Amino acid sequence: MRRPLKGRFAPGSSINVTVCRRAHVYLCDHRGVSNRPHAPVRVLIVDDHRIFVEGLTAVLGRDERFDVVGAASSGRDAVALVRETAADVVLMDMSMPVLDGVAATRRLLESQPGLRIVALSGHTDRLSQKAALEAGAAEFVSKSAELEVLVATILAVCARREPAAG
């Protein structure tokens, strides 16, 4: 089944990525138990760089374990979109306009404490990692990491039964 990707970007811009949904083989939701047997992990991508979002959406969309349910270009839009998309895991860029990833992570976890958030950043210094994890991100992945590292991280945080502690 083909369906358009939900997204929120700057006024006047759009994202035209179609994700092909395949067989359901992975099980997860933000409460740690799935009410959708064998459902793929529902992923929301939050990043202000459209080419990064489109690339990650295309790659994850080809993997039957994932269902990319939306994209946002700011933390503020992510907060609004996460409930609408019922995401299991949020891939959150830490450096964005309007509401950065650290503040957005805190805000999302206040309203949905079991939500899994994977922090993404081009900054790999310890202070950036510490800020993301202290905000409540389950894990931190560098944007320079290999795709397999990100995939393994998404699956690992989704498999946890309890929300990760910073």
- As assigned by CATH, the class of the 2-10+18-159 domain is alpha beta
**What does pTM read for this prediction?**
0.77
pLDDT band at 160 (very low <50, low <70, confident <90, very high): confident
What is 7-24 written as a DSSP string? EE-STT-----EEE----
User: Pairing between strand 18-20 and 41-46?
Assistant: unpaired
Average pLDDT over the chain, rounded to an integer? 81
Domain ranges of the chain: 2-10+18-159
| pLDDT (tens digit per residue) in 58-108 | 999 999 999 999 999 999 999 989 989 999 999 999 999 889 999 999 999
Give dist(CA 137, CA 125) in Å, integer.
16
The residue written with tokens 């067989």 in the block is 23
Instruction: Tell whether the model's pLDDT for residue 14 goes beyond 50.
Output: no
Give dist(CA 12, CA 121) in Å, integer.
26
pLDDT the model gives residue 138: 96
